[in-house]
Chains A and B, each alone.
Chain A
Amino acid sequence: MSETTISEARRRPVWLRLLAGLALLRESRVGMIGAGIVVFWVAVAVLAPWISPYPPNATLVPFALPGAAAPDGGVFWLGTDHIGRDILSRVIWGSRTVLIYAPLATGCAYVVGIVLGLVAGYHRGWVDEVLSRFSDLVLSFPVLVLYILIIATYGSSGLNIVLAVTFASAPAVMRIVRGLVLDIRDRDYIAAAQMRGERTSYILFVEILPNVRGPLIVDACLRLGYVIITIGVLGFLGLGLPPPDPDWGGMINETRSMTMAFPHMALFPCLAISSLVLGLNLLADGIREVLLNA
Chain B
Amino acid sequence: MSRFIVKRLLFLLATMLVVSVLLFALLEISPGSVATKVLGPYSSQEQRDLWLAAHGYFDPIWLRYGRWLGHMLQGDFGESIRFKVPVAQVLWPRLANTAVLGGLVLAIMVPLALGMGMLAGMREGSRLDRGISLVSIVTTSVPEFASSVFLAALFVFWLDWLPGTSTMAEGWHWNELVLPVGVLVLYDFGYVARITRASMVEVMLRPYIRTAVLKGLPYRRVIVRHALRNALIAPFTVIMLQINWLLSGVIVVEFFFAYKGFGSLLLEASLNQDLFLIEACTMVSVAVAVGTQTLADIGYVYLNPRIRFS
Contacts and interface: CB of A to CB of B under 8 A. Distances in A.
Contacts of A237: 251-252, 255, 267
Given A232-B143, A277-B141, A263 B273 contact: no
Contacts of B285: 141-142, 145
A261 B247 CA distance: 29
A148 B141 contact: no
A137 B15 CA distance: 6
Interface stretch (B58-66, B148-156, B300-308): B148-156
A259 B157 contact: yes
Contact of A152 (B164, B252, B271): B271
Contacts of B47: none
Given A153-B27, A256-B256, A273-B143, A140 B157 contact: no
A233 B149 CA distance: 13
B42 to A, nearest CB: 20
Interface in A143-171: 143-145, 148-149, 152-153
A277 B137 CA distance: 10
A142 B157 contact: no
Interface residues of A, number: 38
Interface string B27-44: 100000000000000000
Contact of B149 (A136, A267, A277, A285): A267
Given A152-B273, A237-B251, A145 B141 contact: no
A282 interface: yes
Interface stretch (B96-104, B166-174, B211-219, B286-294): B286-294
A145 B149 contact: no
A278 B142 contact: yes
Given A263-B153, A267-B153, A273-B146, A140 B267 contact: no
A119 B282 CA distance: 31
A274 interface: yes
A144 to B, nearest CB: 4
Pick the most buried of A274, A277, A282: most chain B CB atoms within 10 A of its CB.
Answer: A274
Contacts of B156: 259-260
B286 A145 contact: yes
A278 B142 CA distance: 7
B273 A233 contact: no
Contacts of A148: 251, 266-267, 270
B45 interface: no
Interface in B223-270: 244-245, 247-248, 251-252, 255-256, 266-267, 270
Given A237-B255, A282-B137, A142 B164 contact: no
A266 B270 contact: no
A252 interface: yes
Given A145-B266, A237-B252, A267-B153, A278 B145 contact: no
A173 B266 CA distance: 28
A285 B150 CA distance: 25
Given A140-B290, A237-B252, A281 B266 contact: no
A117 interface: no
Contacts of A256: 149, 256
Contact of B278 (A140, A144, A149, A233): A149
Interface in B4-31: 15, 18-19, 26-27
Contacts of B281: 145
Contacts of B18: 137
B212 to A, nearest CB: 27
Nearest to A134: B18
Most chain A beta-carbon contacts within 10 A, residue among B26, B141, B142, B290: B141
A61 to B, nearest CB: 21
5 contacts: A225-B141, A236-B252, A260-B164, A277-B141, A281-B141
Interface of A: 136-137, 140-145, 148-149, 152-153, 225, 229, 232-233, 236-239, 249, 252, 256, 259-261, 263, 266-267, 270-271, 273-274, 277-278, 281-282, 285
Given A152-B271, A270-B145, 8 more contacts: A142-B289, A145-B248, A152-B273, A237-B251, A238-B271, A252-B145, A259-B149, A270-B149
